[in-house]
Amino acid sequence: MTLILGIETSCDETGAAVVEDGVRIHSNVVASQIDLHARYGGVFPEVASRAHIEAIAPIVEQALRDAEVTLADIEAIAVTRGPGLAGSLLVGVNFAKGLALASGLPLVGVNHLEGHVYSLWLIERESPVRFPVVCLIVSGGHSEIVLITDHGQYRQLGTTIDDAAGEAFDKVARLLGLPYPGGPAIQRVAESGDPTAYDFPRALRGEGYDFSFSGLKTAVLRAVQEPHSGKRPPKAESLTPDQLRPGVNVADVAASFQAAVVDILVEKTIQAATAHGATEIWMAGGVSANAALRATMSARSPLPVYYPPLKLCVDNAAMIASAGYFRYAQGFRDDLDMDVRPLWPLTTIAQEAGDTVG
Ligand code: KG4
Ligand code: ZN
């Protein structure tokens, strides 16, 4: 039995977890900063890194305590190295380095997107995984369709050319006067809305596997804003709820917007998966918590569809520990001079990662 301690601080959740053999969670502790950031309507980097500094030591201690282990039982420390906010990543990476130095344990740097992929290894399954699989990774910062041919082997089939799906949810929520984070808020409001009320654009439909969400955001803005007399209409991000056109049905707008995002995510993922001979479709990242996305993907896909439980969709350290375990098992180790990588494409990690292969 190999126990990995995982640490995650790439954005606005401070996480620590203990995972056995990459697949069994012994503990998974997450301190969310959502309340701190809600007042800014988004993640405020300076506030995020300060909050990580305060939370990290107690969170790691609690993860060890919940798992009823000490560092002596741990085989390696896995930490998110990127992509993410530099100041936030630094807190986790420096803490992990300190622990590694003090304990003599090996250090494994993990790509946050690979972490999201490995949240799929933490779920109960009836049959073993057979590669290749196609994973839709949709979060606040990323929207990617990735072909996975083996552990650590990724090919990007599609990505967003502008906003990430979660970012679109957050921005549209803000212009509808809904709270941050926007995804859960829009999902809630959309339940009582008509998804066919507005015919919002499905961008790049039938044109490969890339996404574009900024036109959709603008279309929502046009649909809800007061007719504007000035030369320049306000940007979606700067619209305030009192500028909403009177009589706008927020539930209908939310439901129609959500349907447009879901349609395009589902359509392109299924096309990519069938074209590349995938055995199943995976979904990961915060937006994969969306109930409409889950239901629509499962209903339309000819292949089996898997997604993690809600707690493992959003940022957490169990997925980092799992990804770290499989890297560790493949011989990857990082040195104590490991740097953070705020921009770190998933597809490059097979060739370069770890810097040392034992
Ligand atoms: O993976 P995550 O926790 O953090 C990043 O790595 O970005 O994803 C956060 C994103 C936010 O944009 C949030 O609005 C979105 O996931 N999200 C949702 C839902 N729950 C969270 N989007 C749509 N529907 C949801 N139920
Ligand atoms: Zn994430």
pLDDT of residue 32: 82
Strand order across the beta sheet in which 143-150 lies: 153-159, 143-150, 133-138, 281-284, 305-306
Of residues 197 and 247, more confidence is placed in 197
| Residues lining ligand 1, Cβ inside 6 A | 11, 139-141, 166, 169-170, 181-184, 187, 285-287, 289-290, 314-315
Please tell me the distance from the alpha carbon of residue 187 to that of residue 173, in angstroms, as a whole number. Answer: 10
Tell me, yes or no, if the pTM score tops 0.95. Answer: no
Quick one: DSSP state of residue 288? G
Of residues 51 and 199, more confidence is placed in 199
% of residues, the chain, pLDDT over 90 = 81
Please return the burial class of 69, using the count of CB atoms within 10 Å of its CB with bins 0-12, 13-18 and 19+. Answer: middle
Give, for ligand 1, the residue of 13, 139, 288 to mutate: max count of ligand atoms closer than 8 Å to Cβ. Answer: 139
* Span 94-142, pLDDT tens digits: 999 999 999 999 999 999 999 999 999 999 998 999 999 999 999 999 9
Please tell me the distance from the alpha carbon of residue 213 to that of residue 73, in angstroms, as a whole number. Answer: 46
Report the nearest atom of ligand 1 relative to the CA of 164.
12
Please tell me the distance from the alpha carbon of residue 253 to that of residue 205, in angstroms, as a whole number. Answer: 21
pLDDT of residue 357: 42
pLDDT of residue 226: 74
Intra-chain end-to-end CA distance of the chain, in Å: 20
Report the nearest atom of ligand 1 relative to the CA of 181.
14
For residue 357, the CA-to-ligand 1 centroid distance in Å is 34
Residue 61 in contact with residue 102, Cβ under 8 Å? no
Task: Name the residue with the closest Cα to ligand 1, atom 3.
Answer: 314
* Span 261-273, pLDDT tens digits: 999 999 999 999 9
Domains along the chain? 3-123+312-357 (3.30.420.40), 133-307 (3.30.420.40)
Extract the tokens encoding 286: 């915060």
Task: Name the residue with the closest Cα to ligand 1, atom 13.
Answer: 183
pLDDT of residue 40: 66
DSSP string, 140-154: SS-EEEEEEEETTEE
pLDDT of residue 180: 87
